[in-house]
Amino acid sequence: MTDPEWQTRIELAACYRLAAHYRFTDLIYTHITARVPGQEGAFLINPYGLAWEEITASSLVKIDVEGNKLDDGPHGVNPAGFTIHSAIHRANHDAAWIMHTHSRAGVAVSAMEEGLLPLNQIALQFHGRTAYHDYEGIALDLSERDRIVASMGDRPVLILRNHGLLATGDSAARMFNNMFYLERACEIQVATLSMGRPLRMVDDATAAHVAAQYQGNMGEDDDLALEWAAHLRMLDRTAPDFRD
């Protein structure tokens, strides 16, 4: 195993543990995937049947673009679960890391006709950066991959209507940052709507301005590196076996 692959395994295992910590999981279902550096068409995915808080660097499974195993490890995979991921990995070079969730707040917002609303500062970072894909059923039909790619375009996050959320990134840090704040924006939206009071939306011009501020100042690699390092320190204190 190459050093870049092992480092990718450590960071992917960290993403699973962080998602479990922040309660983004759906038992053993949904996935976070990463391209294997230097190995065209090879990806890492969670072993089917393990809870996300159980996943370690060595337990991750290497697969090809169709979800077939490329190693002889003891764990199986859920090929159907890779349908959405494979579509985006193949079509978008920047999407080296992909995370898909079925969280309560994320699914709730995905079921709203308006989708993610410009209700708060956290949601505004996704203004003009969020794509939507209409529900077609459980993602078992490989022909849906092209339609998912067309829906997503060049945007980093996708709301799968009546289904859940998806975030991408060129690194573990950027992908997890996108998903963490998309989840948080959905949680705040659900909480806001539950109050039953008149809503104060942010106007389009201000929303675009704030989105540009996020991209210009808060989306810098240095900031992401600091945030990611903080996540890893937390895991090293609470669940250091993710590196095993």
- What is the number of alpha carbons within 13 Å of residue 18 lying toward its C-beta? 27
Which pLDDT score is estimated for 219? 56
Rounded percentage of the chain residues whose pLDDT exceeds 70: 98
Do residues 237 and 18 make contact, with C-beta atoms less than 8 angstroms apart? no
* Close Cβ partners of 12 (under 8 Å, ≥ 6 residues apart): 32, 33, 34, 44, 57, 60, 97, 172
Which pLDDT score is estimated for 140? 72
Which of these ranges, 69-78, 85-94, 135-144, 205-214, has the smallest mean pLDDT? 135-144
- What is the number of alpha carbons within 13 Å of residue 40 lying toward its C-beta? 0
Give the long-range contacts of residues 152-157, CB within 8 A, separation 24 or more.
152/88, 152/92, 154/92, 155/129, 155/130, 155/131, 156/94, 156/129, 157/126, 157/129, 157/130, 157/131, 157/182
Structural domain boundaries in the chain: 3-243
Task: Say which amino acid occupies 162.
Answer: N
**What is the C-alpha end-to-end distance of the chain, expressed in Å?**
14
| E strands present in 197-238 | none
Across the beta sheet with 164-169, what order do the strands follow?
Answer: 61-63, 43-45, 32-35, 97-101, 164-169, 157-160, 130-133
pLDDT, mean of residues 125-138? 95
Do residues 81 and 101 make contact, with C-beta atoms less than 8 angstroms apart? no
Instruction: Please state which of the four CATH numbers 3.30.360.10, 3.40.225.10, 3.30.479.10, 3.20.20.80 is assigned to the domain occupying 3-243.
Output: 3.40.225.10
Query: What would the pLDDT profile of 167-203 be if each residue is shown by its tens digit?
Result: 999 999 999 999 999 999 999 999 999 999 999 999 9
pLDDT, mean of residues 29-46? 95
| Token pair belonging to 194 | 């539950």
Which pTM value belongs to this model? 0.95
**pLDDT range class, residue 16, cuts 50, 70, 90:** very high
Which has the closest alpha carbon to 77: 101, 55, 97? Answer: 55
